Amino acid sequence: MDIYNNAVRHEYVPIPQMTGEAGTVGNALNYSELQDACDTAITMDCEFPEIIARFTEYMISDPQLSVQSNWGAIGGNYYLADDGVMRFHLDENGDIIVGTEWGDFDNNFGKARVNTTTCRGSMIVLNEYYNTPEQPDGVVEYTYDAANLLAFQIVNGKNEDLAKYDTIPKIMLLNQEQQEISRLVEVTNPIVKRYVQEWVTNGDVDATWDAYVNELKGAGIDRIVEIYQTALDRING
């Protein structure tokens, strides 16, 4: 499904989350607050690291710049309204109209985002940046889909669902760790894909699960977990 094709999007209707046999409702795929410190690195060869550090701080300390570094510049997906809020151009159906100030993006949110975000560096988009009736000081509209989407998510248990998951933050690996991970996943990824294809086709998960786990262990999955655990412990101090 092309989520940026409005004609296609309108052929679908949202459905509630499905609850599995264990009573769970799946993974949380939407986060309103975004933070990413792993998209900027200062190398040992950098002649003026303090300039890069100050530039990064400048980009993430200004809410409007931080938002634009993630979702694209004003003139692409956004226009700057008279009230100082970055807003979307919407048509009579409430669908986004991508701006053309920076080029012709075929009314495609994704294209405008990619082509007006010149340097996808570290960014912070806090919940308080979103302009809502409860947060009139916010600098950007929350979504072009529905003004009340965040409220709908909360009413339908978003916060409770997020509390169920202990997720791993983005972490930076040392060079030797990244090299070892790259070698290992070249072996483990095909195993995962092969078994998933088998399960989707034949549905024999229980009968082949132990073989799947053993094959992954033989391919080095425990070492992958160990490397990520070491990196996580490192950033947690």
Q: Which CB contacts under 8 angstroms, 24+ apart, belong to 49-54?
A: none
pLDDT band at 98 (very low <50, low <70, confident <90, very high): confident
Pairwise pLDDT comparison (172 vs 36), residue with the higher score: 172
Q: Name the phi and psi angles at 135, rounded to 5.
A: -130, 70
- For 109-138, the pLDDT digits (tens) are 778 888 888 666 778 888 788 887 778 888
Sign of CA dihedral 65, 66, 72, 78: negative
Alpha-carbon distance values, 95 to 81, 92, 183 (Å) = 17, 7, 44
Q: Cα separation of 230 and 178, whole Å? A: 12
- What predicted TM-score, i.e. pTM, was given to this entire model? 0.60
Reported confidence tier of residue 43, pLDDT bands at 50, 70, 90: confident
pLDDT at 203 over 70: yes
